[in-house]
Structure 1
Amino acid sequence: MPVKFTEDAFNGLIIDSDSIATDDIEFHASLSAILAYSAQQNKGITWLTLPIEKSHHVGSATALGFVFHCCQEHELTLVHKNQPAQFVPFIPSHTVGAGALIKNAAGEILVVQEYGMTGYKLPGGHVEQGERIEDAVLREVLEETGIECEFISVLGFTNKHPYRFGKSNLYFVCQLRPLHTNIQIQDTQEILDARWISLSEFQRDTRNSAYNHELFSALLDLPGLCQQTLVNNMGVHKKLEIFFANQKDG
C-alpha cells in the first residue's frame, strides 16, 4: 500500500503517518515517489512524522535528504527541502516556567526549599505543553505546598538563555491569593521544606540568592497584568491566555 500524503496551505506536503508501511524497502520506495512528485510540482517542504514504532525508517528518510526538525516522546518529525534556502517554520525554542508570589493576611510570603538547595525561593515549576500559565502555577503551588490559591496577575517575566538542551527559558512570576494557609507538602521527592516567612526575615537570610532578594523587593504588592477575556478572541487563532495591564479608570 503506497504512503499517503496531503498538500498543506504553504506549498508543502504532509505525509500520513498511519499509512507508512512497516517494511523499510516498501517505505523507501514510496517516499522516493513522493519526493519525485514534490519536485515535479515545485513543492517547498515535505513533512514526515515517524511514530516510535516506525522509527527504524529514519535511516531511509535521511538517506533521501530528510533532516531532523523536532522530537517528542513518542514521535520524530523530519523535513525535506527541495531548495536549500527554503524557509522551514521554527522548531520549539523555549521552555516555560512559572513561579508564585503569595502573601497571606499577616504579610508573610510563601517560600519553598528544594532538596539540594541551601536557601528558599518561590514555589513553582514547569508549564506543561498545552497548559495555561494560570493553571500551571496553581498546580505547582498545590503540589509543592498543599495550599490552594486564586490567580491574580502576572507580575513580570524573565528570559534565560541558554537553558536546558540549549533552549531558552521564559519564567513568569505570578501573584496568587491563598485560600488557606495550612502547608502540607505533596511533592515530598522534590520539596524539603515550605514555610510562611516575613519579607524582612527572608531578606536577612544570606542563604537565599541575591536574585530572589531583589525579586521579592521589586514585585511585592504590585498590581501586574491581569487575565482578560476578549469578545473577538475566537476561531483558529484564538489565544490560550491573554494578560493585559489594568484598564484605565473612566
Structure 2
Amino acid sequence: MKFELDKFNGVIVDPLSIPDSADQFHKHLSEIIHFAVTENKNLIWLTLPIDKSHLIKPATDLGFVFHNCLESELTLIRKAPSTTFVPFIPTHTLGAGAIVCNPHQQILVIKEHGMNGYKLPGGHIELGERIGSAIVREVLEETGIEATFESIVGFTTKHPFQFGKSNLYFVCRLTPLSERICIQDTDEIEDAKWVSISEYINDERNALFNRQMIASLVQSSGLALMKLDGNDGPHKKQETFFAQT
C-alpha cells in the first residue's frame, strides 16, 4: 500500500492502494505501522471506502480506532503512545432559519405536521453547502417562495442535539422575490402562510423562543456577506460575514 507524510508528522494511507484481500491488507498495514513506529510518527490516518468495510476488523486488531464517518467512508487512526492531540472530529450539526418579510409587514412562517404553532422556514445545512444557499433552498422547498439572502441576524446553540452532537442554528434575513405560497415538501410541511409580525409575536400557540427571536431580530440588519480581496485558491473562505456600519 502507498502512503504519504503530512506536515504534522503523520502518515496518510492512500485509500486507492488498499487491497481487497484481508491478508494482504494486514501485511501491508503492519509494514506501515513498523515504519511509523521506527520514524517516530505521531499518527497514521486510514480511510476505508464502504466497499472495503470488511477490512475494519483487521485494522482495529492492529490498534486503529474510529475517528469519523461519512456515508461512503470510515476514517480510522492509530496514535503513537506519546501523542496527546488528534485533530477533532466534527462536533456540530448546522441549521438555518429565515426571517422573510413582505412589504405588508408580514412574516413568512410554516407549520410542520404535528406542530401546534408556526415557526420560521428553514432546515439543515448540508455538508459543503453555503449558509446563504442552504436557507434560500429551504425556503423554496418549504413554501415555494423564491428569495435572496441578505444577512445573518442571529444564532443560537443547543446541546445535546442529534447523534450526541451540538447544533448551531443561524437566523438569516431574506428578501422575497414572490409572495405566492406553493409548498413543495408536503411530506414535512402541513401549512405555510404570511402573518402580521405583531399577530405572530402575540400568538401563544407559537413557541416562546420563536416569538422572542422574531421580536428581537425582525428589524435587525445583521452581518452582511462580504467579498474579500485576495480570497482565492483551494483554501479560500467560502463565506465571510461582517457587521454593517
Asked if these proteins are the same fold (TM beyond 0.5), I'd say yes
Which residue number in structure 2 is paired with residue 241 of structure 1? 239
What is the identity, as a one-letter code, of the residue corresponding to 2:178?
H
Unaligned runs of 5+ in 1: none
Which residue of the partner structure matches residue 32 of structure 1?
Answer: 30
Match of 1:178 among 170, 176, 179: 176
Question: C-alpha deviations, 1:52-103, integer Å up to 9, x for none?
Answer: 1101111111111100000000110000001253311000011110100011
| Match status 1:9 vs 2:7 | yes
Q: 1:154 aligns with which of 152, 155, 174?
A: 152
- CA distance in 2 between counterparts of 1:173 and 1:215 reads 9
- TM-superposed CA distance for 1:236, in Å, is 4.2
1:131 pairs with 2:129: yes
1:141 aligns with 2:174: no
Structure 2 gaps of 5+ residues are none
Which of 73, 80, 83 matches 2:78?
80
Q: Is the 8 Å Cα contact of residues 45 and 86 (structure 1) preserved in structure 2?
A: no
When normalised by structure 1's length, the TM-score is 0.96
* 8 Å contact kept, 1:44–1:86: no
SS in 1 for 2:63: coil
Q: Percent identity?
A: 55
- CA deviations on 1:134-192 (whole Å, 9 max, x unpaired) are 00000000000000001111001011111101111110000001011000000001000
Q: Distance in 2 between matches of 1:96 and 1:165?
A: 13
Q: Is 1:98 aligned with 2:101?
A: no
Q: Helix, strand or coil for the counterpart of 1:73?
A: coil
Instruction: Give the equivalent residue in structure 1 for 2:16.
Output: 18
1:46 alignment partner, one of 44, 49, 52: 44
Distance 1:224 1:231 in 2: 22
**SS at 2:55's partner residue?**
helix
- What is the CA-CA distance between 1:200 and the residue it aligns to? 1.9
SS at match of 2:231: coil
Q: Distance in 2 between matches of 1:84 and 1:66?
A: 15
Separation of aligned partners in 2, 1:236 and 1:4: 24
Which stretch shifts more, 83-92 or 151-160? 83-92
Q: Work out whether residues 100 and 123 of structure 1, in 8 Å CA contact, stay in contact via their aligned partners in 2.
A: yes
* SS of aligned partner of 1:235: coil
Kept in 1: contact 2:42–2:83 (CA 8 A): no
Deviation at 1:235, TM superposition (A): 3.2
TM-score where L is the length of structure 2? 0.98
Other-structure match for 2:214: 216
More displaced, 152-161 or 229-238?
A: 229-238
* Residues in 1 aligned to 2:91 and 2:202: alpha-carbon distance in whole angstroms: 37
